[in-house]
Structure 1
């Protein structure tokens, strides 16, 4: 009887992607819900979310735009996290800080567009919120993983 051996495949890349995807899904979900809530609260308070970025046509920020501009950076962060995952905790810590920093440094962006102050503040808070959520989820996940290793 002859046996044929199939090539061995590693599940390590799948685990790496899965480990990067899990926090990104949490960040994406929480940030999307939070930012849409900010939009809806702003509308309830009478904000029109009409903006005109410099050199562009006027637009009204709606749910689709909020979701896209929230989820696209999170997806990019997840891709970078998947690539950097094998580099260990220091890379993870660095990416948590980079996400927070990007949220902070992009916070003034809405103030460069022509819009009422309330709309600018609401949009700026979405930038900050997404960065803070990214940082909190990644750092919280690292803390939990460290506790499991020590415990």
Structure 2
């Protein structure tokens, strides 16, 4: 008679988990942020937000998909390079980057609120900043395994 092995007794259970690389973490954060921010953008447009913003001392612009994806790419690329440079320094540095990224995303909401825009547009843009910061924070605070 052949007995089925318990899943805990398989070779997969004893293999150590590998952390995702810093570049992989940045990629996951980018994809997750693009998806969530575009959902927020779509909901905002359906709710009537015009997505027109006039920054203080700047010219009026309409926020679109390209601008959202481009801004996410630049911000997350810079953060990912910092993560790569500090990758070997341990979990405390990852947590410092996690907290710093979240803090910067929350502080950047001041720029959104100071700009000339409708309440709906400001709410959507502030939500994008908060969600992106939270995604970065969660990805770094508790590193996932592959």
Length-normalised TM-score, structure 2: 0.82
Q: What 5-or-longer segments of structure 1 have no aligned partner?
A: 1-17, 146-151
Contact residue 104 and residue 128 of structure 1 kept, 8 A = yes
Match of residue 103 from structure 1: 105
Match of residue 133 from structure 2: 131
> In the TM superposition, what is the alpha-carbon distance from 1:88 to its structure 2 partner?
1.4
Q: Which structure exhibits the higher relative contact order, with contacts defined as CA atoms closer than 8 Å and separated by 6 or more residues?
A: 2
**Which 4+ runs in 1 deviate beyond 6 A?**
none
> In the TM superposition, what is the alpha-carbon distance from 1:55 to its structure 2 partner?
1.3
Match of residue 51 from structure 2: 49
Match of residue 85 from structure 2: 83
Length-normalised TM-score, structure 1: 0.79
Correspondence 1:4-19 to 2 at 5 A: 19=21
**Pick aligned residue for 1:67 from 32, 48, 69:** 69
Q: What 5-or-longer segments of structure 2 have no aligned partner?
A: 1-19
1:116 aligns with 2:123: no
Query: How big is each residue's C-alpha offset from its partner over 1:59-101, in whole Å with a ceiling of 9 and x where there is no partner?
Result: 1000001111122111101000000011111111111111111
**Pick aligned residue for 1:58 from 57, 60, 81:** 60
1:33 aligns with 2:32: no
Contact residue 109 and residue 124 of structure 1 kept, 8 A = no
